[in-house]
Amino acid sequence: MIIPPGGYNSVGPPQSPQEWLAYLYGRLNPAELKRYTDYYEGVHQRLAFSQARYQNEFGGVFEQWRDNFCGLIIDSSTERMAVDAFRVPGEKGTNSEAREFWQRNSMDMLANSVHLDALVQGKAYVLVWGGSDGEPVITPVPPTEMAVQYKPGSFTELEAAARFFIDSWGRQWVTLWTEKYVYEVKQSSNGWEDGTQQPNPLGVVPVVPFYNRSRLGGNPYSDLANVIPIQDAINKITSDALTASEFAAFPQRYVTGLEIQEDDQGNPIEPFQVAVDKLLQAEDPKAAFGQFQAADLNNYCSLISLLLQHLSSISRTPSHYFLVNSGNAPSGEAIISAEAGLVSKVKERMLYFGEAWERVIRICFAVKKDKRAKEFGLETVWRDPEYRTEAQHIDSLLKLKQLDVPLEFLWSRAGFTDTQIAVFREMRKDDAKEAKAVAELGPQAPQPNQPSETKAAAMAAKSPQGNSGNVSRKLNEQK
């Protein structure tokens, strides 16, 4: 692939497909994105703050050591994000066609990858295009391969998007989308000018950006942007503690009054090999043995605990996720209260990502030439991000039922999927049919221990036993 050495150097906005590719390629920033990925995966440089002597001595010993909290911070949010369905205004329940698009493209699994990349690297992309069978194909794209440009003055409408990547066979793929055309460069081509141009049948750029908390005047940013400095500090203190455990945690022994022996090169010879089963002895009566006090590693632990508290506050991750609580485990109510900040953060991310998923579904309808491609009232239905006990959850739903909330809405809030709710509908129909069939059979045989009609009438005509005293009083009054 031939890339202009100076990138895009024309004056004014791009005009040709080649200029668009040069401009958008210059907007890729894989090095910065890889830095966030390394911190999430815990493969960033270890023992980075140790002196060269420590690295030479213990680099191999602590080579596999990791004390990474970046992955925990990201995963605590992504594990609470799950798209259940999509709702179209005016339609009963959730939209079955949107659910078909979702299931056909395995988005139950891939959607989590989109959320993960958006939180780690600040952005991710989803491409929607028509397949050979005319059905929409949803393809998540990492931010290292995609770059987009918005229309001037717009925060939602794209002017162009381009994807650059090399597949497993070493073949180069380059595609440019605009509202008017699609420009594709041949596989393994040596230049962008060798591409082919075709009309865009959708009339829109079929790429949807997933930005993590994008601002009006700034770029989207990773959730790790403010976490990495504290993570580096934790790594530094932990590195000091590990090296101190090798140098100073074991009590160092010394001897005085003993002649120092040297080898042929004048280097001092260690007179003793200290071990658990070794005894130190010297013939010189002036020799004295002693030991230095071992280093106290609790100071390192206290400092790391303080940094973890700062990490919890900045990332809005509950402190019990970092195991910094002392004493007994927190109660259920305390855990719910501690997770309020995390739940609020997840709901805020759902606001951004939910709007992006709605645009994805609208493009899917555009592929099908469905009028709902312009349905801007489309709504993303998320799974409840708050963890509660089953008893608390069901109790809250029963209280909502007393307010005449529809049953299917309560089923959805209870966590049942659209497929399960559809099964519930059919089961309720079957129950109603069975109840109707039983009612049509006519009067049923009396149940065991149930009195006959004659006996029941006699029992009804009999005076209550509790009124016998009143009857006697009335007879005496008549006399």
Q: Tokens 């958008």 sit at which residue?
A: 24
pLDDT 10s digits, 311-340:
989 999 988 888 765 556 666 677 778 888
Query: What's the distance, CA 141 to chain centroid?
Result: 17
pLDDT digits (tens, 9 = 90+) for 414-436: 777 777 888 888 888 888 888 87
Question: By the 8 A CB rule, do 319 and 338 touch?
Answer: yes
Residues composing the chain: 479
pLDDT band at 103 (very low <50, low <70, confident <90, very high): very high
Share of the chain above pLDDT 70, in %: 77
Do 77 and 349 meet the contact criterion of CB atoms below 8 Å apart? yes
Query: For tokens 């100073």, what's the residue?
Result: 248
Question: DSSP secondary structure string, 93-162?
Answer: SS-HHHHHHHHHTTHHHHHHHHHHHHHHHSEEEEEEEE-TTS-EEEEEE-TTTEEEEEPTT-SS-EEEEE
pLDDT tens figures, 20-45: 888 898 888 888 888 899 889 888 75
pLDDT in the model for residue 361 = 95
Tell how strand 172-178 and strand 158-166 pair up: antiparallel
